[in-house]
Copies of this chain bind each other. A is one copy, B any other.
């Protein structure tokens, strides 16, 4: 009898351990966010400014993390985190969007669900308070992936997305940035990294890359990615960058990873950066960290493209590489491990 009990124990105890492990696996959730990459240097930032960014990143991170912790979906978590950043004037997205050459604000956003590969994107919207919410509704209610301009706004009105007057985006600091750039085409075209450059120029370069993004893995094993931006200060001709382009600025696939990019969009489009990280993992068997590093610090650098990305894989591994001076970035894992970073190192 004792032998039988012992035998039962020998069989059930490993099963118990295994089921516990399964439980731990399904608790392997995490969220990563960014607030843009660029020439972000400590010497050009006051303690108050640094604190303001840290607090807003913390708020965005926590808002998404809470959803994940409560068993919510990755796509809900990243949408919420991005809304927090869109509603802040600190980032070049939503409320803080930079000005176009014409003095308007034209916003882009995209979101992708790694479970279904469904995606939604909008470009050039002027009166949508939260472009990421509109991109989400494109997934839910449209047979299309990408809507643009006035058409996208008509779609937004049809689905009762909150619209705002263009005065909502009024921002003296951003207007100053535009006027400076308007006076000197040279500054707009200058993408060189120079530690000695003055604060004004740094500001411009910073604002140019102030896109926000979020990626997450939820308890159900689903990945999602999203990106939102006000584009480039002084942009002309209805320019569309990488942020609303699935594959370039945003990509998610449960089989590999979720990625959101920030940087000089043209280079991210030409290198199809977000999808490239997934392809390097799936086809070349690189780890998430190696794939993300290769895309940002090898391929983008070779082409001359400034920027960075955040990524998370199906196992909860995280990567946040960038080839600029700094990148507003933060993550929080299921085990409580969390970091908020701005500068290099």
| Chain A residues with a Cβ under 8 A of chain B | 112, 117-119, 123-124, 142-152, 154-155, 189, 235-241, 245-248, 251, 265-266, 269-272, 275-276, 279-280, 283-284, 303
A144 shortest CB reach to chain B, Å: 5
B148, B154, B276: the one contacting A123 at CB < 8 Å is B148
Residues of B within 8 A of A238 (CB): 147-152
B117, B119, B148, B279: the one contacting A283 at CB < 8 Å is B279
Residues of B within 8 A of A124 (CB): 148-149
* Known contacts A148-B148, A150-B238, A151-B236; 5 further A-B pairs (Cβ under 8 A): A117-B303, A124-B149, A147-B237, A246-B269, A247-B269
Pair A152/B237 contact, Cβ less than 8 Å: yes
B123, B145, B152, B248: the one contacting A247 at CB < 8 Å is B248
Task: Tell me the complex Cα distance, A189–B142, Å.
Answer: 11
A74 shortest CB reach to chain B, Å: 17
A52 shortest CB reach to chain B, Å: 32
Pair A189/B149 contact, Cβ less than 8 Å: no
- 4 pairs of A and B residues whose beta carbons are closest in the complex: A151-B238, A283-B283, A247-B272, A151-B237
Task: Tell me the complex Cα distance, A251–B279, Å.
Answer: 15
Query: How many copies altogether?
Result: 2
Instruction: List 11 A-B residue pairs with CB atoms under 8 Å apart, sorted by A's residue number.
Output: A117-B303, A123-B148, A123-B240, A144-B239, A145-B269, A146-B269, A148-B148, A149-B238, A152-B237, A154-B237, A283-B284
Task: Tell me the complex Cα distance, A143–B185, Å.
Answer: 12
Name the CB-closest residue of B to A274: B272
Residues of B within 8 A of A189 (CB): 143
A256 shortest CB reach to chain B, Å: 12
Pair B269/A119 contact, Cβ less than 8 Å: yes
Residues of B within 8 A of A247 (CB): 245, 247-248, 269, 272, 275
Pair A142/B237 contact, Cβ less than 8 Å: yes
A293 shortest CB reach to chain B, Å: 15
Residues of B within 8 A of A142 (CB): 237
B151, B240, B272: the one contacting A272 at CB < 8 Å is B272
Name the CB-closest residue of B to A125: B238
Name the CB-closest residue of B to A265: B145
A121 shortest CB reach to chain B, Å: 8
Pair A272/B269 contact, Cβ less than 8 Å: no
Say whether, besides A238-B151, A251-B272, A271-B117, A144 and B266 are in contact (CB < 8 Å): yes
Task: Tell me the complex Cα distance, A280–B275, Å.
Answer: 12
Pair A272/B246 contact, Cβ less than 8 Å: yes
A204 shortest CB reach to chain B, Å: 15
Name the CB-closest residue of B to A266: B145
Task: Tell me the complex Cα distance, A102–B190, Å.
Answer: 41
A287 shortest CB reach to chain B, Å: 14
Name the CB-closest residue of B to A280: B283
Say whether, besides A119-B269, A269-B247, A272-B246, A149 and B148 are in contact (CB < 8 Å): yes
